[in-house]
Each structure stands twice: as C-alpha cells, then as structure tokens.
Amino acid sequence: MSTPLQAWDRCATVYWLASPFARAAGLLVGRRYAMAGARTERTDAMTQPLEVLRGVIHPWHEDHFGHMNVRHYAPFFDDAVYHMWTRLGIAYASMLSEHGVHMVTAQAVTRFMRELKAGDLIVITGQVARIGTKSCTFDLRMIHADTGAEHASYEVVEVVFDPATRAAAPMPQAIRARLEAGGRA
C-alpha cells in the first residue's frame, strides 16, 4: 500500500482544451500526452532553460492536506508562459500588431512530483521543446528556490492564431527565429 505522498509523487494530471484551435493545429485532443515523441531536433540555444517566473506559496494555496492544491499550479505556470515570450524576445502585448497573430494555448500537461507548502519559494524555468509549422511546445519546470528540487513540470502547446480568420495560422518567420534562438539571440 502506498502512502499519500507516494501517490502524490506518481500523480500526473492532464488538462485538455478540446478547442477548434487545437484541432486546426492538428493536435490529437483527448489523448494523453498527444505531443510525446513529436519533438524536433533541439538546437543548443533551445536546450538551455530560461528563468521566467519567481513566486511564493501562501497559506491560501494550501488545501486540507497541508500542501499547495493542484488548482494553484496552473496560474503560476500560465503566468510563466506569458513571461516566456518576453524572455524569448517576443513582446506578447505587441505580437498582434507586429506579426498579425497571437498565441493560444491548445494543450497543457502538468506533472506533480513533490508537494509545496506555505512559505516555499519557487522558480519557474522554461525552454522551447518543439517548433512546428503552426505551433510550439514549451517545457516548464517549477523548482524550489532554496533546495533546487523540481516540484512540478508543465508541457504547454501554444498555437499561432489569426484573429481575423479565427483559425490556426502558419508560424511567422520572425517568431520562429526567436524560438530557435531560445532567447539567446
């Protein structure tokens, strides 16, 4: 029989957005880890994680088990994705005016490895894992700022979206170049 913490360590939650954006991008919506194995060759720049967010776990994040409830991981990771774009040299706020597109999240997978408690400080790092013709995948890690232990990971698929056609669109070359540079160019 496993303890609650051992069960927690094995826990993985998959969040799906069964949306027209995901279908338009050719994602297999509704299948666990649909993007697993679909990675492209990584460049040296893509393999180096960027620090994208720092945070603190507050008492109101805890549930009746005395650790951060799963519902609170998503906002930390979602905020980190916005910062990821800035770290890559692409101002999210001006993406539409400069490139005629913006990004939408089509799929997000969260894996929980260790619990966090009130007072814990976290650092979220991210890196480009895959670049497709209409989407990209980021891998993010939630790391304890004091111990360096990884507490959660987040794989998110961002789809290029044309608001005029309300459909997935080809990746603009300028955005692709920044993704390939991994924030280092």
CATH of the domain at 177: 3.10.129.10
Residue 39 domain-assigned? no
Residue 120 domain-assigned? yes
pLDDT, tens digit (0-9, with 9 covering 90-100), for 16-39: 344 444 444 544 333 333 333 333
Structure confidence at residue 129 as a pLDDT band (50, 70, 90): very high
The range of the structural domain enclosing residue 21 comes to 4-26+48-181
The pLDDT value given to residue 96: 93
The pLDDT value given to residue 94: 87
Residue 37 domain-assigned? no
Q: CB within 8 A of 172, min separation 6: which ones?
A: 99, 100, 101, 160
The pLDDT value given to residue 135: 97
- In sequence order, the β-bridge partners of residue 167 are 162
Q: Would you say residue 14 has pLDDT above 70?
A: no
Question: What average pLDDT is seen over the chain?
Answer: 82
